[in-house]
């Protein structure tokens, strides 16, 4: 006896689910310049690799025993491959109920996508478009409910210390999905079509009496530049998918594995002559930190994270002789490269990412110190500094610092770790101390300067006296600090990263300090 009738029914139901919210809703969605959930999954995944699960979940309308109509759940989820490696994906379907919830399972419910990523130890990707809860569900259920979403968001939190997690915000995302968008190691939003907020303009109007647009409330100009809630901005949805693929290419499938070594396409002995003159002799001129990065990492391998937020610090991922690394550099072309609260947040996330997924950390230091001034005080620079110090001292991945310019004060101290596999080199252009000589003289020699017949001349005399002993070679005489030819920087990095692999191999597994988003 054949079961062809039942197989035909299965295929009919699957086709009904693929219709999503219907032709009219799909057309309206396309008119907004957006892809559907299924088009997004196809755009992200290796061709033909999507293996859907829970595809039959939804609400059916029956004519007797026969299914007459079907509304699928407002998500599409399953396994995909990215460059041949498996991952779990869940995509919000805005064409069904605006992507809002309300179709939760009951007794016998199959595992959610986040649970499967956790148990399978696979990267987890969210393609988000839609709200969280809706008051419409109150009427459908005939009651309200106590918020208990942590019964499932607990898995989203656990994922952070187990597998790489990436989110793409591809529409207006509100409520718990807006918060969940930040429960990841990398997130991206798309210019002009993406916003996140706990409550949208109608909620703001009801609560505060303020009329505001979605873009003004939670658009990319807010979250990629000011709040830092979103790392990167994509020009198109395809660009967002490409960024997620690239981010994950540096990551292991889980904390139980080492990151994959990429192709070796660059000379490990490359010694770019431009490095010898990259640092200006005039301290008032700023070097190009992005050019510096290009000269020392594998060509075209640097992937910047959060380029528009905390711009005095550049952070990202790169490869050194094919091996993935986390990399940060002071950017003296923005606020002199000073570390403010935003820059501190970026650095802590990068340190945590490197520690969680077994990446060596490389710091290109030109640190003038923590940002000073009344605005910095209002932002709580001291507590931010304390958190950064804690993050540095608690980390354990191999860490290499190259002091190319300044290293002053407590912020300079945050480029050093006193334990574990740590190495520091300096260029001849380096300068350091508890504070800058020019600013420190005014404080330490105030009475002497004020008592002098010519205070300005006296101040200049003292500064010249101190500058004469500020050579990094004087420090090397006393401490053994290694000073290198700038052209040898890449060679030193390659050697360090190769040695780091043995140490990193001893650190695989769940990190001893949970990842904090």
Looking at the fold, whether 243 and 329 belong to one and the same domain comes out as: no
Q: Determine contact, residues 32/80, Cβ cutoff 8 Å.
A: no
The string of pLDDT tens digits covering residues 188-229 is 999 999 999 999 999 999 999 999 999 999 999 999 999 999
Question: Residue 77: which H helix or E strand, with range?
Answer: strand 75-82
pLDDT at 141: 65
What tokens were used for 99? 């992507």
Looking at the fold, whether 171 and 306 belong to one and the same domain comes out as: no
Instruction: For residue 417, tell me if it sits in a domain.
Output: yes
Average pLDDT over residues 117-121: 97
Tell me what the pLDDT averaged over the chain comes to.
91
pLDDT at 406: 94
Output 400 or 132, whichever has higher pLDDT.
Answer: 400
pLDDT at 136: 63
Choosing from 216, 249, 282, the residue where a domain stops is: 249
Choosing from 233, 249, 265, the residue where a domain stops is: 249
The string of pLDDT tens digits covering residues 468-480 is 677 889 999 999 9
The yes-or-no verdict on residue 107 having pLDDT over 70 is no
pLDDT at 101: 64
pLDDT at 207: 93
**How far is residue 33's CA from residue 517's CA, in Å, rounded to a whole number?**
31
Question: Residue 85: which H helix or E strand, with range?
Answer: strand 85-92
pLDDT at 95: 87
Looking at the fold, whether 238 and 280 belong to one and the same domain comes out as: no
Looking at the fold, whether 214 and 341 belong to one and the same domain comes out as: no
Instruction: For residue 451, tell me if it sits in a domain.
Output: no
435 pLDDT tier (thresholds 50, 70, 90): low
Q: Which segments of 321-459 are extended strands (E)?
A: 323-330, 361-367, 399-408, 422-426, 431-433
137 pLDDT tier (thresholds 50, 70, 90): low
DSSP 221-251: HHHTTTS--S-EEESSHHHHHHHHHHHHHTS
Looking at the fold, whether 278 and 387 belong to one and the same domain comes out as: yes
pLDDT at 447: 82
The CATH number of the domain where 361 resides is what?
3.90.226.10
249 pLDDT tier (thresholds 50, 70, 90): very high
pLDDT at 329: 98
Average pLDDT over residues 56-63: 89
Instruction: For residue 517, tell me if it sits in a domain.
Output: no
pLDDT at 380: 94
Instruction: For residue 475, tell me if it sits in a domain.
Output: no
Average pLDDT over residues 119-137: 84
Average pLDDT over residues 132-155: 72
Q: Determine contact, residues 133/157, Cβ cutoff 8 Å.
A: no
Looking at the fold, whether 321 and 360 belong to one and the same domain comes out as: yes
Query: Other CB atoms closer than 10 Å to residue 119's CB: what's the count?
Result: 11
pLDDT at 262: 95
Q: Are strands 361-367 and 313-320 parallel, antiparallel or unpaired?
A: unpaired
Instruction: For residue 403, tell me if it sits in a domain.
Output: yes
Buried b or exposed e, range 37-55, using 16+ CB within 10 angstroms: bbbbbbebbeeebbebebb
Looking at the fold, whether 389 and 300 belong to one and the same domain comes out as: yes
Instruction: For residue 257, tell me if it sits in a domain.
Output: no
> ∠ CA 54-242-233 to the nearest 5 degrees?
105
**How far is residue 92's CA from residue 70's CA, in Å, rounded to a whole number?**
18
pLDDT at 433: 83
The string of pLDDT tens digits covering residues 229-241 is 999 999 999 999 9
Choosing from 187, 217, 249, the residue where a domain stops is: 249
The yes-or-no verdict on residue 162 having pLDDT over 70 is yes
Instruction: For residue 167, tell me if it sits in a domain.
Output: yes
* Nearest of 283, 323, 240, 210 to residue 430 by alpha carbon: 283
Percent of the chain clearing pLDDT 90 (strictly above): 73
pLDDT at 70: 87
Looking at the fold, whether 204 and 282 belong to one and the same domain comes out as: no
**How far is residue 349's CA from residue 351's CA, in Å, rounded to a whole number?**
5
pLDDT at 455: 77
Q: Which of 44-53, 104-113, 361-370 is the least confident region?
A: 104-113
- Give 119-158 as a 3 state SS string: HHCCCEEEEEEECCCCCHHHHHHCCCCCCCCHHHHHHHHH
List the alpha helices (DSSP H) in 360-418: 374-378, 381-394, 409-413
Looking at the fold, whether 162 and 294 belong to one and the same domain comes out as: no
Output 191 or 149, whichever has higher pLDDT.
Answer: 191
Domain that holds residue 317: 273-427+484-505
The yes-or-no verdict on residue 460 having pLDDT over 80 is no
437 pLDDT tier (thresholds 50, 70, 90): low
Looking at the fold, whether 161 and 229 belong to one and the same domain comes out as: yes
Instruction: For residue 460, tell me if it sits in a domain.
Output: no
71 pLDDT tier (thresholds 50, 70, 90): confident
428 pLDDT tier (thresholds 50, 70, 90): very high
pLDDT at 144: 72
pLDDT at 404: 98
**How far is residue 319's CA from residue 326's CA, in Å, rounded to a whole number?**
8
Looking at the fold, whether 59 and 204 belong to one and the same domain comes out as: yes
- Number of structural domains in the chain: 2
pLDDT at 130: 82
Cα–Cα distances in angstroms (integers) from residue 314 to residues 193, 227, 336, 346, 407, in the given order = 26, 17, 13, 9, 16
Looking at the fold, whether 284 and 241 belong to one and the same domain comes out as: no
> What are residue 317's DSSP bridge partners?
303, 326
516 pLDDT tier (thresholds 50, 70, 90): confident
């Amino acid at each position: 006896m054949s079961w062809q009738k039942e197989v035909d029914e299965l295929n009919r139901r699957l086709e009904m689910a693929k219709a999503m919210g219907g032709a009219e809703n799909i057309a309206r969605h396309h008119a907004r310049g957006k892809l559907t959930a299924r088009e997004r999954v196809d755009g992200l995944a290796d061709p033909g690799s999507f293996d859907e699960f829970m595809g039959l979940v939804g609400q059916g309308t029956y004519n007797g025993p026969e299914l007459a109509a079907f509304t699928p759940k407002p998500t599409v989820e399953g396994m995909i491959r990215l460059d041949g490696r498996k991952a779990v994906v869940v995509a919000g379907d805005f064409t069904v109920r605006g992507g809002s919830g309300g179709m939760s399972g009951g007794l016998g419910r199959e595992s959610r996508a986040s649970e499967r990523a956790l148990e399978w130890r696979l990267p987890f990707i969210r393609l988000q478009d839609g709200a969280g809860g809706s008051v419409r569900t109150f009427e459908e259920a005939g009651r309200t409910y106590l918020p208990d979403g942590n019964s499932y968001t607990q898995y989203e939190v656990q994922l952070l210390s187990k597998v790489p997690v990436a989110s793409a915000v591809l529409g207006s995302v509100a409520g718990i999905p807006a918060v969940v968008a930040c429960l990841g190691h990398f997130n991206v939003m798309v210019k002009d079509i993406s916003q996140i907020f706990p409550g949208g303009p109608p909620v703001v109007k009801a609560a505060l009496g303020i009329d505001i647009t979605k873009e003004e409330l939670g658009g990319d100009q807010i979250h990629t530049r000011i709040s830092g809630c979103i790392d990167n901005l994509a020009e198109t949805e395809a660009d967002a998918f490409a960024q997620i693929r690239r981010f994950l290419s540096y990551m292991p499938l889980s904390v139980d594995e080492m990151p994959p070594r990429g192709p070796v396409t660059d000379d490990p002995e490359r010694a770019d002559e431009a490095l010898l003159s990259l640092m200006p002799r005039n301290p008032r001129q700023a070097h190009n930190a992005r050019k510096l990065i290009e000269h020392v990492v594998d060509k075209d391998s640097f992937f910047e994270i959060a380029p528009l937020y905390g711009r005095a610090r550049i952070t990202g991922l790169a490869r050194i002789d094919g091996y993935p690394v986390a990399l940060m550099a002071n950017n003296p072309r923005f606020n002199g490269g000073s570390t403010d609260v935003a820059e501190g947040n970026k650095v802590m996330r990068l340190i945590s990412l490197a520690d969680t997924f077994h990446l060596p950390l490389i710091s290109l230091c030109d640190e003038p110190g923590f940002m000073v001034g009344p605005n910095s005080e209002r932002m709580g620079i001291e507590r931010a500094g304390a958190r950064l110090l804690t993050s540095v001292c608690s980390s354990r991945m191999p860490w290499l610092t190259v002091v190319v310019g300044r290293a002053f004060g407590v912020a300079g101290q945050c480029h050093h770790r006193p334990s574990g596999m740590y190495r520091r080199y300096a260029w001849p252009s380096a300068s350091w101390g508890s504070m800058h000589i020019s600013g420190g003289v005014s404080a330490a020699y105030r009475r002497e300067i004020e008592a002098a017949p010519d205070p300005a001349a006296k101040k200049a005399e003292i500064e010249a006296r101190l500058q004469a002993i500020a050579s990094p070679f004087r420090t090397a005489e006393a401490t053994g600090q290694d000073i290198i030819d700038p052209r040898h920087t890449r060679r030193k990095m390659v050697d360090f990263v190769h040695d780091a692999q043995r140490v990193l191999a001893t650190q695989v597994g769940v990190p001893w300090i949970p990842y904090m988003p």
